[in-house]
């Protein structure tokens, strides 16, 4: 239960063995290859150059092609699988079968071509639909669209604003000239359409009369025949294109049998991409390669065994203190604390010379979560869900941590629910009363309940907060003493401990001399000494004021934050009780169970999220703020990381 010690790895190997060496390192999965150190103008290193990363770009392009094809095929119905079916398992040899990759590449090419053809067909359909929409207002007009008049007669297709009064426009046109006629066509939401027939000698007068009505000339070039004839032709073309589109869809659906090959090829490609990414960080000469990285000290023997078949020279060394910010962080925890990695990774990893927070956080996080949920029914649901994830779905990585955390918090929730007498709120007493109104079962046995012992729970929550804050301060004292900063620990954390002990002693008059609370005075004197020991002149006063103000406000505000433990316990209990009460209004057992279960499921989901967020806030702000030294970056070794299958080790 600590931060794993790392060693700096430097390796020189043969360029001819580069690919197999990287594959072996990936198989072992214990080496993080990082950027080589800058050796400046050292002539020994000037002959080494970075390995070309063109292959990395090729892998990324192939991944994009395979993923695009898989996304397209996933639009079609798939074979139904169990909701909790685990990922298939296969050996490394099975995963890297070249025939699978060849099949996937071919399928991806076919799907890409089919998708392109389908997109073209859809585009053509959309274009013709747009043309029909344009022609629809002219559909009732029995006039060829290519008509543009004669030597003496002008024919103008025009539009008016949708709110234009065309009847009034016709009157104005008749008043202006007898040699013009306006024939209205259809309309849409944006405009009204018409055709102006006019002798060219009167065209200027006609246009002048229609100008005030928003007359706008339109051009319908490229069309021959009437609008109705063109619409019928376009509709026929759309029908033909839709048949082609359906045929293309069926052809693509015929490729769905290659989905599994595409998934495997994506996993294959991802492992290759990881190696190529690491390869781009290597330095190389004509016949040799050089890599730098990190390896856990406890796995150095495993690395040595893996490198035996290769012609290479390598060394490891402990990182210097000035290199600590560069050292990747790997946390080693037992089954009880490992799930807390999810919290630590979401917040920020500790510095290499810091402390692993998981063992210090685990008992508080798990207990606080159970205290806020505090319901046997909810606890059982959490345990069942976590066991399904672990034993049926075989989740990995972060999801495995989530399942483990859910299991631990579910057990805590069940225990706290048993203490407070909660089983889906007051579901059992309400059900018993509905079945038998004369029942004597009014509540499950409980040591205390959120609804009747609210003040006691609040006091308990604040006491737990005080305990956790003091624990954080104790960790800080230990760290400072280890770092040779004992005086700082005495003048800060220890001083506040003395003050906290002195307050109740002063209230009860214990340890007073001539009415003076000695312990409390000693605490303040130590605090004053700690705040002013490194300040000079006026700075002593400002340091003292700052220490007192920040200490009092920060300490007590942190303690008050733990009141949320009571608030969420009370809120969850009240909401569950409300839903159960709503169910009893029906007077029917089946309706009661249905309403109560739906309401409790909603309450469970909301509480699950709320308790997680508030619990994490207490740990990351109130607790970690007392001792946590952050700044670490995660250890990211070259290893197999698959999405669709699990790789199992082959039997020797």
Structurally, at CATH architecture level, domain 147-219 sits in: 2-Layer Sandwich (3.30)
Helical spans, DSSP H, in 193-253:
203-211, 227-253
Mean pLDDT, residues 142-150 taken together: 87
What confidence score (pLDDT) does residue 55 get? 85
Distance CA 226, CA 207 (A): 25
Whole-angstrom CA distances from 286 to 16, 48, 160, 283, 521 are: 10, 9, 77, 10, 75
Q: Which tens digit of pLDDT belongs to each residue from 367-393?
A: 999 999 999 999 999 999 999 999 888
**What whole-number distance in Å separates Cα of residue 15 and Cα of residue 282?**
10
Residue 13: pLDDT over 60: yes
The residue whose two tokens read 């000035």 is 322
pLDDT tens digits, 473-487 = 999 999 989 888 888
CA distance 557 to 465: 11
Q: What is the largest CA-CA distance in the chain?
A: 124
Helix (H, G, I), strand (E, B) or coil at 197: strand
Paired strand residues for 316: 9
* CATH entry, 2-84+265-330, from 3.40.50.720, 3.40.50.2300, 3.30.70.120, 3.40.50.970: 3.30.70.120
**Token output for 567:** 């608030």
**pLDDT tens digit sequence for 45-74:** 666 677 766 888 899 999 999 999 999 998
Is the pLDDT score of 605 beyond 80? yes
Of 235-239, 399-403, 439-443, 622-626, minimum mean pLDDT range: 439-443
Same fold, 2-84+265-330 and 147-219: yes
| Spatial contact of 32 and 311, defined as CB atoms under 8 Å apart | no
More confident: 550 or 311: 311
- Mean pLDDT in the chain? 89
Give CA–CA dist 492/551, Å, rounded.
9
Average pLDDT over residues 64-90: 83
Does the pLDDT value for residue 438 go beyond 90? no
Model pLDDT, residue 191? 92
Assess whether pLDDT exceeds 60 at residue 651: no
When mean pLDDT is compared across 47-51, 465-469, 499-503, 577-581, the lowest value belongs to 47-51
185-189, 237-241, 549-553: range with highest mean pLDDT: 237-241
pLDDT of residue 377: 95
Q: What residue segments make up the domains of the chain, in order of their start?
A: 2-84+265-330, 147-219, 338-631
Q: Of 643, 39, 538, 8, whose CA–CA distance to 324 is shortest?
A: 8
* Segment 604-612 long-range contacts (CB within 8 Å, at least 24 positions apart): 604/378, 604/381, 606/575, 607/372, 607/373, 607/378, 607/568, 607/571, 607/572, 608/373, 608/378, 608/382, 610/372, 610/568, 611/369, 611/372, 611/373, 611/568, 612/369
Instruction: Report in angstroms the alpha-carbon separations of 531 from 236, 489, 527, 554, 628.
Output: 89, 11, 6, 16, 21
pLDDT value at residue 39: 62
Output phi, psi for 278, to 5 deg. Answer: -70, -35
Tell me what the mean pLDDT of segment 567-582 comes to: 94
Unique residue bearing structure tokens 């220890």: 494
For residue 636, give the DSSP letter.
Answer: -
Task: Tell me the per-residue pLDDT of 196-237, one tens digit each, with 9 for 90 and over.
Answer: 999 999 999 999 999 989 999 988 888 999 999 999 999 999
Q: How long a stretch of residues is the chain?
A: 652
pLDDT confidence tier of residue 526, bands split at 50, 70 and 90: confident
Residue 240 has pLDDT above 90, yes or no: yes
Mean predicted confidence (pLDDT) in 631-645: 92
């Amino acid at each position: 239960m600590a931060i794993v010690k790392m060693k700096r790895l430097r390796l020189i190997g043969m360029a001819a063995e580069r690919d197999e060496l990287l594959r072996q390192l990936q198989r072992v999965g214990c080496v993080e290859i990082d950027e080589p150190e800058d050796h400046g103008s050292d002539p020994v290193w000037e002959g080494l150059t970075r390995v070309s990363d063109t292959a990395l770009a090729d892998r990324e392009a192939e991944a994009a092609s395979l993923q695009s094809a898989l996304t397209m095929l996933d639009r079609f119905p798939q074979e139904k699988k169990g909701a909790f079916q685990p990922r298939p398992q296969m050996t490394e040899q099975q995963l890297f079968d070249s025939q699978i990759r060849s099949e996937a590449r071919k399928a991806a090419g076919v799907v890409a071509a089919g998708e392109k053809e389908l997109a073209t067909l859809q585009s053509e359909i959309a274009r013709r639909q747009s043309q029909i929409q344009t022609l629809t207002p002219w559909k009732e007009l029995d006039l060829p669209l290519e008509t543009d008049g004669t030597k003496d007669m002008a024919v103008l297709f025009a539009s008016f604003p949708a709110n234009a009064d065309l009847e009034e426009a016709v009157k104005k046109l008749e008043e202006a000239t007898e040699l013009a006629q306006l024939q209205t066509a259809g309309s849409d939401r944006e405009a009204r359409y018409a055709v102006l027939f006019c002798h060219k000698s009167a065209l200027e007068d006609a246009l002048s009369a229609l100008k005030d009505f928003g007359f706008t000339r339109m051009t319908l070039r490229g069309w021959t025949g009437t609008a109705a004839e063109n619409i019928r032709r376009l509709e026929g073309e759309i029908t033909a294109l839709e048949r082609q589109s359906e045929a293309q869809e069926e052809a693509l659906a015929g490729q769905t049998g290659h989905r599994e090959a595409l998934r495997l090829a994506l996993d294959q490609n991802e492992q290759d991409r990881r190696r190529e990414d690491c390869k781009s960080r290597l330095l190389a000469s004509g016949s040799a390669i050089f890599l730098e990285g990190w390896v856990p000290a406890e796995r150095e023997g495993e690395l040595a065994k893996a490198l035996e078949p290769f012609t290479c020279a390598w060394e490891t060394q402990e990182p210097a203190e000035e290199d600590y910010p560069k050292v990747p962080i790997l946390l080693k925890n037992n089954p009880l604390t490992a799930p807390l990695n999810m919290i630590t990774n979401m917040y920020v990893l500790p510095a290499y010379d810091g402390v692993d927070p998981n063992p210090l956080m685990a008992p508080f996080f798990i207990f606080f979560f159970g205290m806020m949920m505090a319901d046997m029914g909810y606890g059982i649901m959490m345990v069942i869900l976590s066991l399904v994830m672990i034993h049926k779905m075989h989740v990995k990585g972060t999801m495995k941590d989530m399942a483990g955390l859910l299991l631990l918090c579910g057990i805590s929730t069940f225990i706290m629910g048993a203490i407070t007498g909660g089983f889906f709120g007051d579901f059992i007493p309400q059900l018993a009363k509905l079945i038998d109104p004369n029942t004597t079962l009014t509540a499950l046995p409980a040591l205390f309940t959120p609804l009747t012992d609210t003040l006691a729970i609040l006091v308990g929550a604040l006491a737990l907060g005080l305990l956790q804050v003091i624990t954080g301060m104790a960790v800080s004292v230990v760290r400072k003493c280890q770092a040779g900063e004992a005086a700082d620990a005495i003048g800060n954390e220890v001083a506040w401990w003395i003050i906290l002990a002195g307050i109740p002693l002063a209230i009860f008059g214990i340890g007073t001399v001539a009415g003076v609370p000695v312990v409390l005075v000693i605490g303040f004197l130590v605090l004053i000494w700690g705040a002013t020991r490194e300040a000079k002149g006026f700075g002593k006063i400002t340091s003292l004021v700052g220490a007192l103000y920040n200490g009092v406000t920060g300490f007590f505000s942190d303690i008050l934050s733990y009141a949320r433990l009571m608030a969420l316990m009370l809120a969850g209990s009240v909401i569950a009780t409300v839903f159960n009460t709503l169910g009893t209004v029906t007077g029917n057992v089946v309706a009661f169970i249905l309403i109560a279960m739906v309401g409790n499921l909603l309450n469970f989901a909301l509480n699950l999220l709320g308790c997680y967020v508030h619990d994490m806030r207490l740990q990351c702000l109130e607790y970690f703020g007392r001792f946590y030294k952050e700044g670490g970056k995660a250890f990211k070794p070259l290893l197999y990381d698959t999405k669709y299958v699990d790789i199992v080790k082959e039997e020797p």
